[in-house]
Amino acid sequence: MEPTKLSDTDTEKVSHIDIDDNSDTGHDLGHELLDALALEDHSDMVTALESLHPADFSDQLEELTAEEREELVRRVPELISGEILAELEDEVVETILPLIPAEQLATALKTIDNDDATQIVEEMEDAQREDVLDALEPFDRAALEASLAFDDETIGRLMQREFVAAPTFWTVGDTIDHMRTTGEELPELFFNIYIVDTAFKPIGYIPVSKLMRFERPVTLESVMDEIIVTIPQDMDQEEAAYLFEKYNLISAPVVDPDGRLVGMMTVDDIIEIIQDENKEDILALAGVSDAGLTDTALTTVKSRAPWLFVNLITAVLASLVIAQFDYAISEIVALAVLMPIVASMGGNAGTQALAVAVRALTERDLTSRTAWRAIRREALAALFIGIIFAVVLAIIAFLWFGDTQLAMVAFVAMIINHVFAGIAGVSVPLILKHYGADPAVASSVFVTTVTDVVGFFAFLGFAAAMLL
Among positions 57, 112, 120, 190, the unique one binding a copy of itself when judged by CB under 8 A: 190
Residue 189 backbone class (left: φ over 0; alpha: ψ -120 to 50; beta: rest): beta
Site for a copy of itself in 112-151 (CB under 8 A): none
Q: Which stretch binds a copy of itself (CB under 8 A): 42-50, 124-132, 256-264, 311-319?
A: 311-319
Among positions 50, 364, 404, 468, the unique one binding a copy of itself when judged by CB under 8 A: 364
Distance between CA atoms of residues 315 and 239, nearest Å: 36
Site for a copy of itself in 230-289 (CB under 8 A): 230-232, 235-236, 239, 242-248, 250, 267-268, 270-271, 274-275, 278-279, 281-283, 285-288
If the CB atoms of residues 102 and 463 are measured against a copy of itself, the closer one turns out to be 463
Q: Which stretch binds a copy of itself (CB under 8 A): 41-49, 105-113, 366-374, 404-412?
A: 366-374
Vertex 357 angle, CA 352 and 359, to 5°: 100
Host H or E run for residue 263 = strand 261-266
Site for a copy of itself in 75-94 (CB under 8 A): none
Q: How far is the CB of 138 from a copy of itself (least distance, A)?
A: 26
Q: How far is the CB of 27 from a copy of itself (least distance, A)?
A: 9
Q: Which stretch binds a copy of itself (CB under 8 A): 40-48, 102-110, 326-334, 405-413?
A: 326-334
Q: Tell me: does residue 225 bind a copy of itself (CB under 8 A).
A: yes
Contact 422, 350 (CB under 8 A): yes
Among positions 142, 228, 437, 468, the unique one binding a copy of itself when judged by CB under 8 A: 228
10 Å Cβ neighbour count for 353?
28
Q: Given CA atoms 129, 134, 135, 140 in this order, what sign does their dihedral have?
A: positive
Site for a copy of itself in 169-188 (CB under 8 A): 176, 179-180, 182-183, 186-187
Q: Which long-range contacts (CB under 8 A, 24 or more apart) does 328-336 make?
A: 328/460, 328/463, 328/464, 328/467, 328/468, 329/460, 331/467, 331/468, 332/406, 332/463, 332/467, 334/397, 334/400, 334/401, 334/403, 334/406, 335/406, 335/459, 335/460, 335/463
Number of H helices, E strands in the chain: 23, 6
Beta strand 202-207 with 261-266 is unpaired
State the number of binding residues for a copy of itself (CB under 8 A). 143
Supply the DSSP string of 343-375, one letter for each residue.
Answer: HHHHHHHHHHHHHHHHHHHHTT-S-HHHHHHHH
Among positions 292, 405, 431, 467, the unique one binding a copy of itself when judged by CB under 8 A: 292
Q: Tell me: does residue 213 bind a copy of itself (CB under 8 A).
A: yes
Q: Tell me: does residue 38 bind a copy of itself (CB under 8 A).
A: no
Q: Tell me: does residue 384 bind a copy of itself (CB under 8 A).
A: yes
If the CB atoms of residues 127 and 305 are measured against a copy of itself, the closer one turns out to be 305
Among positions 41, 215, 257, 258, the unique one binding a copy of itself when judged by CB under 8 A: 215
